[in-house]
Amino acid sequence: MNAVIIAVLIMLVLSLARVHVVIALVIGALVGGLIGGLGLTETIDVFTNGLGGSANVALSYALLGGFAIAISRTGLPDVIVNMALAIVGKEGDSRKKALSKALIFIIILTISCFSQNVVPIHIAFIPILIPPILKILNELGVDRRAIATVITFGLTAPYILLPYGFGAIYHDIVEANMAESGLVINRSDIPTALLLPVAGLIIGLLVAVLITYRKQRNYKTRELMNSQQILEKNYSKRSIVFAILAIVVTLIVQIYTKSMIISALSGLVVIYLSGTMKWKESDELVTNGMKMMAFIGFVMLSASGFAAVIRETGHVDLLVEQVAGVIGQNQGLAAFMMLLVGLFITMGIGSSFSTIPIIAAIFVPLGVAVGFSPLAIIALIGTAGALGDAGAPASDSTLGPTAGLNADGQHDHIWDTCVPTFIHFNIPLLVFGWLAAMIL
CA angle 327, 333, 334 (to 5 degrees): 60
Q: Are 310 and 324 in contact (CB under 8 A)?
A: no
| Residue in 33, 35, 24, 44 with CA at minimum distance from that of residue 1 | 35
Q: Using CA atoms, how far apart are residues 223 and 287, in angstroms rounded to an integer?
A: 17
User: How do residues 181-217 score in pLDDT, each as one tens digit?
Assistant: 778 888 889 999 999 999 999 999 999 999 999 988 9
| pLDDT exceeds 50 at position 434 | yes
User: How do residues 34-65 score in pLDDT, each as one tens digit?
Assistant: 998 888 888 888 888 877 666 666 676 677 66
The pLDDT confidence band at residue 226, using thresholds 50, 70 and 90, is very low
- Tell me which residue range forms the domain holding 131: 3-439
DSSP string, 104-157: HHHHHHHHHHHTTTTS--GGGGHHHHHHHHHHHHHHHT--HHHHHHHHHHHHHH
* 194 CB-side CA count, 13 A: 27
Question: How far are the Cα atoms of 88, 138, 163, 166, 217 from residue 92, in angstroms, in the given order?
Answer: 10, 14, 45, 43, 16
Q: Give the count of domains, the chain.
A: 1
User: How do residues 229-283 score in pLDDT, each as one tens digit?
Assistant: 433 445 677 778 887 888 788 778 877 776 767 877 888 888 888 777 666 666 7
Burial class (CB in 10 A: 0-12, 13-18, 19+), 117: middle
| pLDDT exceeds 70 at position 119 | no
